[in-house]
Structure 1
Amino acid sequence: MTEYGRGGGSEPWHPADPLYGDQGWTASQTQQGQVPYGGDPQQQYAPEPQYSQEPQHQQQYAEQQYAQQQQQQYAQQQYAQQHQQYQEYPAQYPQFVEQQQGYAPPQQPTYDGQGWDTAGQMQGHGQGQAPYLVADVQTDPYAGTDPYAQQAVGAYPADAPDLYTTEDAYPPPTPPGLRHLETEAEPEAEADEAAEEDSEESALAAGGRGSGDDDGPGGGRRAGRSGRSKGGKGKQRSGAACLIAALVIVGVVGGGGYYGYSYLKARFGAAEDYAGSGSEETVDVQIPGGAGLGQMGRILKEAGVVASAQAFVDAANATGKGKTIQPGVYPLKKRMSAAAAVALMLDPSKLHVLIVPEGTRNTAVYEMIDKKLQKPAGTTRDIAQREAKNLGLPAWAGKDPKLKDPLEGFLFPARYDLGKDVTPESLLKQMVQRASGKYAELGIEAKAKELGLENPLQVVTVASLVNAEGKNHDDFRKMSEVVYNRLKKTNDVTNQKLQFDSTYNYVKNQSEINFNLKQAQAFDDPYNTHFVKGLPPGPIGNPGADALTATLDPDRGGWMFFVSVDGDKTTFTKTYEEHQKLADEFQERQAQKKNGG
């Protein structure tokens, strides 16, 4: 079928059609048995007057006419090519043309004395590109006939009958105004067809009648539908859907109930807890500084010590001493009850830390490290002597060959947490690093000269002396004043000897108050200030922050002597006579204690 040769006028539907008068449907959109290349010429309709359009149809009409013009322009281009072949046909095959009945070369028809452009355009809508070649027929052979009736078949051999009018014809095109209805009906029709096929299959599977049985109106189709309603795929699908929905509902209800129960238990129930003192497995748990009970509980739970953080918090609050738990490393058992964990952490002796008191000598520190790290006695001391230069001492330390221990005064007194990976060497490095940092913070290198000392190491030495002899910060300041006054060259009372008992005890590695003074004065050792003038080669212990700050800021009271009569309070004097009087009183008390008085 082709669009070529159609007239340009509109062709209305039958008056009984609801869309009668709809100008969106034109005669050029259906074929009427046209024979463009021979045979009976096709009568062209004269352009008919346009039907009046209702206001609501104006926009639809314009869109349809624009689409029709685009189709007509394309048809004209195709026709121009075929028209050239058509004109050449009689010249190439003259004998065949003469044999055709009533064949005459088509001519351009006229309309009102002028050439009629039959390219298919409507009045006032576009210009044709090539005229149609049809015979000039004065009458309308289609008048009064059915537009879909069979038209005469042309004599041209290549012509074919109009398939719209044969027994196996395709249905005529649907008018544009009804196409949206047809489009909407297609899915419903397909759905009905699929349902009928399913029903027929269900009926056959159940031993029922097929579509060929006619038990009444509707026959097999009714039987198929009946079979489906009794139990087919639809019912199976419905059952599966119900089952899935039920499972979803049960899951939602069950999950909500579980979480609701968990919330109520956590909110109002007792916290989860273990029983007893724990298993045989021990873990080191480090509690950081500033941690609250809640954070401690979470740390213990992650380490497997307690069952829940809340149980630990409750147990700590129950004792009334929970806030006194110190930070540090605790050796705890796994799976302990919260109460047992709290009790252990409230015992300072159980804390897995090393606390170095102010003024402690290095020999005592080495023993403490061996004990805490469970090392053989002497392990840390040997490492200190062997690795002293590799532990991070400042450049101004460890120069004097008379030093008994280069690390003396550099194992800063503080608290050190002992993790599972700590070693004696790593712990010594940590102590030296802290001491060096503190000395740099105080600026002892610059202040040494202000105090009349030779180097920063002597500042640390003075601080170690006052820390060993004094009791408090006020004592430290007055004692540092005593040291500086005795070191003066104008000192003719002690002849620049410090005469500190602590230095003799350091040499002897003891801490005795009652010793033979004459023996001490005769004992030759660089560290014995009863024998030598001036300061010892190095510190005699590890001074704390109070002793250091007091050394840098002495009391300036002109003190030259001091003595502690009762062993608790220290008395300072400026003259030797005052000092000797206090010294005699001290000796009497010591004799009374010795005799049991």
Structure 2
Amino acid sequence: MTEYGRGEGSEPWHPEDPLYGDDGWGGQQAHVGQQSPYGGQPQHYPQQPQQPQQQYGDWSQHPQGGYDQQHDQQQYAYYDEQGQLQYADGQGQQQYDQQYDEQYAGHAQQQYHQGGWDATGTHGQVPYAADPGDPYGQQPVAYGGEQPDFYGTEDAYPPPEPPGRRRDPEPETQPEPVAEEEEQHPFFTGADDDDDEDDDDPKGRRGGGRGKDAKGGKGAKKRRNGCACLVVCLVFGGGAAGVGYYGWHFYQNRFGAGLDYAGSGNGETTTITIPKGAGGYDIGRILKSAGVVQSVDAFVSAQQANPDGKSIQDGVYTLQKHMSAASAVELMLSPKSHNNLVIAEGLRNSAVYELIDKRLAVAKGTTASVAKKEYKSFGLPKWALNHPNLKDPLEGFLYPSSYAVAKGQKPKAVLKEMVARATEQYQTLGLEKKATSLGLDGPWQLLTVASLVQAEGTSHDDFRKMAEVVYNRLKPGNPETYGALEFDSTYNYVKNQSKIDLSIAELRNYKNPYNTYYTKGLPPGPIDNPGEEALEGALNPTDDGWYYFISMDGKTSEFTKTLAEHEKLVNEWNASKKKS
């Protein structure tokens, strides 16, 4: 059943109808012959000639001015602008007015109540026409009889309204507006204080008045909420402070001036080791870790500000803690801070072993024993291995330099580092490439010549001349020595001594491969550890014809080309010695 007993179509509204002014059901006009909204009876109008697709009236006055073929058998009525009912063909007005007066006399004040037009919920004395679509219309019931009220229950749908008054259907369960709720957790609401509040209430009241202060406000909740806000503020404030603190340190470390101690230290000494090849930042990190300087940036800045700052070498240094960066740089440039193991040029291996034992605080002879047993594992080049009659296979490979050696290290580690440095230096100087051009069998002999130059030279200016003396004497056909070197230093090496007053008889009668007075040519191997200048001299000798040399004062050497010139200088030296 459609609204108010009407059919599916539209009909005009009479001006006296209470609902007049709603423009009908969406402005649509009723279909002729369908059920009337005022009595449940179809309206009959004079039959009009059927004209397919006939248009009625003005398009501007009829929202549905034209209809398709399925509506061509119907007539339409409408109200004009003055509220008068008009028909498309101009007829049927009188018949409509008569029916309206008969059926609706005395019903002008009808009210809409519980789905009907009167208080009983029925439609008066008009029979209720059965509607196939109405579930309540299967058994037609006349008005005035017992008719069930299908709209009288709480669960029933409300009666329909005309389209002009219709509203969007509301959902069955409309959620109630939710007001902004207060925090329900007991910590914030103060629920855990209920017992205390009840005790304070003299009337023992609970419910809406609980927890209110004298002013009617929610004092307990406000106090608890205020405490919670304070906690939150403290948490966020602490987080912000932490972020600011670490941000400040990040900025200082990246962009700010480096932190620095004041003064030359607190008196507490410490030993630090700077490895080879360490740069400014590497050294700064080592010093900061040892507590010497306060920051790496401060040390780097001080090193760059010092004209000699970049000359800081690897090694062991004795410094104080809590030094200013500038003081640390100055002390590291001073010999007073050096605590390295320094291997001097020309030292024999036997002397080096003793120095290592002492620095490592191990028993005397420990390092020499390790060297003798494990020398092949120290990284010697191939050209330095498998030579016969050697007194010490490592002789010549404990390169003169400064080494960071401290208590706790192993002798083997120290020896390996020295051999590695010697091998690197010899490769850099090109011993293998230049040996043959100097008339030698290989780099081993070139290293041996350099050790002789180092042992016999009294100054760095002597090394090139001394190297020429060696090369000239080694020539088998030379008219001065006929291939014999006759160096006192070779005899002293065998004896492990350093004497200068040696008799010719003693020298010539000692049979040993290293004694060049007894054996012609070079000794089996180096007799010491030559330095860089001695090596350079052996690689670049003079070409002046020198065969002899003598040191008159122990500091410089006099070089001569003939034996007569040499003997003259020897006599002068002996005469000066007798006078002293």
Q: Same fold (TM over 0.5)?
A: yes
Partner of 2:443: 456
Mapping 1:547-586, distance limit 5 Å: 547-586=534-573
Q: Does 1:277 align with 2:267?
A: yes
Mapping 1:384-395, distance limit 5 Å: 384-395=371-382
User: Which whole-Å deviations, capped at 9, do the CAs of 1:192-224 have from their partners, x for residues lacking one?
Assistant: 8999xxx9x99x98779999xxxxxxxx99x99
User: Which whole-Å deviations, capped at 9, do the CAs of 1:473-503 have from their partners, x for residues lacking one?
Assistant: 5422221111111111221322221122221
User: Which whole-Å deviations, capped at 9, do the CAs of 1:426-470 have from their partners, x for residues lacking one?
Assistant: 222222233233333444334333222223211111111011122
Partner of 2:345: 358
User: Which whole-Å deviations, capped at 9, do the CAs of 1:510-550 have from their partners, x for residues lacking one?
Assistant: 22233334422333222122232111111111122222232
Q: CA deviation at 1:234?
A: 6.1
Shift of the 172–297 alpha-carbon distance from structure 1 to 2, 3 Å rule, reads farther
Q: Does 1:239 align with 2:226?
A: yes
Conservation of the 8 A alpha-carbon contact between 1:383 and 1:425 = yes
Conservation of the 8 A alpha-carbon contact between 1:462 and 1:539 = yes
- Partner SS state of residue 403, structure 2: strand
Shift of the 194–388 alpha-carbon distance from structure 1 to 2, 3 Å rule, reads closer
User: Which whole-Å deviations, capped at 9, do the CAs of 1:254-290 have from their partners, x for residues lacking one?
Assistant: 66997899999x97998489974338xx664436645
Distance, in Å, in 1 between the alignment partners of 2:396 and 2:333 is 32
Shift of the 388–256 alpha-carbon distance from structure 1 to 2, 3 Å rule, reads closer
- Partner SS state of residue 410, structure 1: coil
- Partner SS state of residue 277, structure 1: coil
Partner of 2:91: none
User: Which whole-Å deviations, capped at 9, do the CAs of 1:35-55 have from their partners, x for residues lacking one?
Assistant: xxxxx98989xxx999989xx
Distance, in Å, in 2 between the alignment partners of 1:10 and 1:549 is 127
Partner of 2:8: 7
Conservation of the 8 A alpha-carbon contact between 1:271 and 1:311 = no
Conservation of the 8 A alpha-carbon contact between 1:285 and 1:332 = no
TM-score (norm: length of structure 1): 0.61
- Partner SS state of residue 383, structure 2: coil
- Partner SS state of residue 511, structure 1: coil
Q: Which moved more, 1:580-589 or 1:252-261?
A: 252-261
Partner of 1:510: 497
Conservation of the 8 A alpha-carbon contact between 1:291 and 1:327 = no
Q: CA deviation at 1:383?
A: 1.2
Structure 2 counterpart of 1:426, which letter? A
User: Which whole-Å deviations, capped at 9, do the CAs of 1:1-55 have from their partners, x for residues lacking one?
Assistant: 999x98366999x9999x977999999xxxxxxxxxxxx98989xxx999989xx
Structure 1 counterpart of 2:268, which letter? G
Partner of 2:519: 532
Distance, in Å, in 2 between the alignment partners of 1:519 and 1:534 is 19
Shift of the 41–329 alpha-carbon distance from structure 1 to 2, 3 Å rule, reads farther
Partner of 1:150: 115
Conservation of the 8 A alpha-carbon contact between 1:271 and 1:310 = no
Out of 448, 451, 470, the residue aligned to residue 457 of structure 2 is: 470
Shift of the 155–590 alpha-carbon distance from structure 1 to 2, 3 Å rule, reads same
Partner of 2:368: 381
Conservation of the 8 A alpha-carbon contact between 1:25 and 1:176 = no
Mapping 1:81-480, distance limit 5 Å: 113=73, 150=115, 154-156=136-138, 166=153, 189-191=177-179, 230-231=217-218, 235-236=222-223, 238-240=225-227, 242-244=229-231, 247=234, 251=238, 271=261, 276-278=266-268, 284-286=272-274, 289=277, 291-292=279-280, 296-305=283-292, 326-330=313-317, 345=332, 348=335, 351-418=338-405, 422-480=409-467
Distance, in Å, in 2 between the alignment partners of 1:21 and 1:353 is 113
Conservation of the 8 A alpha-carbon contact between 2:258 and 2:298 = no
Distance, in Å, in 1 between the alignment partners of 2:181 and 2:529 is 101
TM-score (norm: length of structure 2): 0.62
Shift of the 525–180 alpha-carbon distance from structure 1 to 2, 3 Å rule, reads farther
Structure 1 counterpart of 2:73, which letter? G
- Partner SS state of residue 230, structure 1: coil
- Partner SS state of residue 490, structure 2: helix
Out of 530, 537, 546, the residue aligned to residue 543 of structure 1 is: 530
Mapping 1:54-65, distance limit 5 Å: none
Distance, in Å, in 2 between the alignment partners of 1:344 and 1:249 is 48
Q: CA deviation at 1:583?
A: 2.2
Partner of 1:487: 474
Q: Which has the higher helix share?
A: 1
Conservation of the 8 A alpha-carbon contact between 1:274 and 1:307 = no
Gaps of 5+ in 2: 30-38, 44-55, 62-69, 77-98, 117-121, 123-134, 142-146, 184-188
Shift of the 177–319 alpha-carbon distance from structure 1 to 2, 3 Å rule, reads farther
Distance, in Å, in 1 between the alignment partners of 2:317 and 2:12 is 103
- Partner SS state of residue 330, structure 1: strand
Gaps of 5+ in 1: 28-39, 54-109, 117-138, 212-219
User: Which whole-Å deviations, capped at 9, do the CAs of 1:321-375 have from their partners, x for residues lacking one?
Assistant: 9777543233668x66669977975664654432222221111111111111111
Partner of 1:75: none
Conservation of the 8 A alpha-carbon contact between 2:261 and 2:323 = no
- Partner SS state of residue 341, structure 2: strand
Distance, in Å, in 2 between the alignment partners of 1:25 and 1:388 is 117
Q: CA deviation at 1:565?
A: 1.8
Conservation of the 8 A alpha-carbon contact between 2:261 and 2:322 = no
Structure 2 counterpart of 1:191, which letter? A
Q: Does 1:588 align with 2:575?
A: yes
Q: What fraction of aligned residue pairs are identical, expressed as a percent?
A: 45
Distance, in Å, in 1 between the alignment partners of 2:452 and 2:367 is 25
Structure 2 counterpart of 1:507, which letter? V
Partner of 1:76: none
Conservation of the 8 A alpha-carbon contact between 1:315 and 1:338 = no
- Partner SS state of residue 472, structure 2: helix
Distance, in Å, in 1 between the alignment partners of 2:244 and 2:396 is 66
Distance, in Å, in 1 between the alignment partners of 2:542 and 2:292 is 52
Shift of the 188–581 alpha-carbon distance from structure 1 to 2, 3 Å rule, reads farther
Shift of the 540–170 alpha-carbon distance from structure 1 to 2, 3 Å rule, reads same
Distance, in Å, in 2 between the alignment partners of 1:163 and 1:51 is 42
Conservation of the 8 A alpha-carbon contact between 2:469 and 2:546 = yes
Shift of the 168–510 alpha-carbon distance from structure 1 to 2, 3 Å rule, reads same
Distance, in Å, in 2 between the alignment partners of 1:161 and 1:229 is 54
Distance, in Å, in 2 between the alignment partners of 1:409 and 1:10 is 128
